[in-house]
Amino acid sequence: MDKKFKKINKNGSVTIPKEIRAEAGLFSGNGVAIDARPDGSVLITPAAPSCRFCGSMTDILTIDNIIICMGCAKKILSKVDVVND
Ligand SMILES: [Zn+2]
C-alpha cells in the first residue's frame, strides 16, 4: 500500500485513512495501543483483539490468524449455505 501523508492537528490528533484502518482492523470506538519505536516510527495496534469485520471484542475466535466474532461467522456461514443450495 502507498504511504499516506497526514498532518498532526494542534491537539495531537492524526486521522488514520479509512483504507489503512480497514487493512489493520482498527475500528472507531475501539482502543489502540500507541508506542514510539527507537527508529522514530510510531506503532499503533488494537488494544484488544477485535473482529476483523465488525470490530466487536466479544464472542471472538481466531481462524488461520483471522479474528472473527460469532455474529459475523454466522453471517458468513449463512451465505455459504445459500451457495450450496
Ligand atoms: Zn464481527
Write the pLDDT tens digit of every residue in 30-58: 889 999 999 999 999 888 888 988 989 99
Are residues 58 and 49 in contact, defined by beta-carbon separation less than 8 angstroms?
no
Query: Closest by alpha carbon to 51, among 33, 43, 63, 37?
Result: 63
Record the pTM.
Answer: 0.64
Are residues 50 and 27 in contact, defined by beta-carbon separation less than 8 angstroms?
yes
Ion ligand 1: residues, CB < 5 A? 51, 53-54, 56, 69, 72
- C-alpha 13 – ligand 1 centre gap (Å): 27
- C-alpha 11 – ligand 1 centre gap (Å): 32
Contacts of 49-57 spanning 24+ positions with Cβ under 8 A:
50/25, 52/25, 54/27, 55/25, 55/27, 55/28, 55/29, 55/30, 57/30
Q: So what's the pLDDT on residue 42?
A: 94
- C-alpha 51 – ligand 1 centre gap (Å): 5
3-state SS assignment for residue 61:
strand
- Confidence label for 78 from pLDDT (cuts 50, 70 and 90): very high
Average pLDDT, the chain: 89
Q: So what's the pLDDT on residue 82?
A: 66
pLDDT at 74 over 90: yes
Q: So what's the pLDDT on residue 2?
A: 75
Average pLDDT over residues 3-30: 90
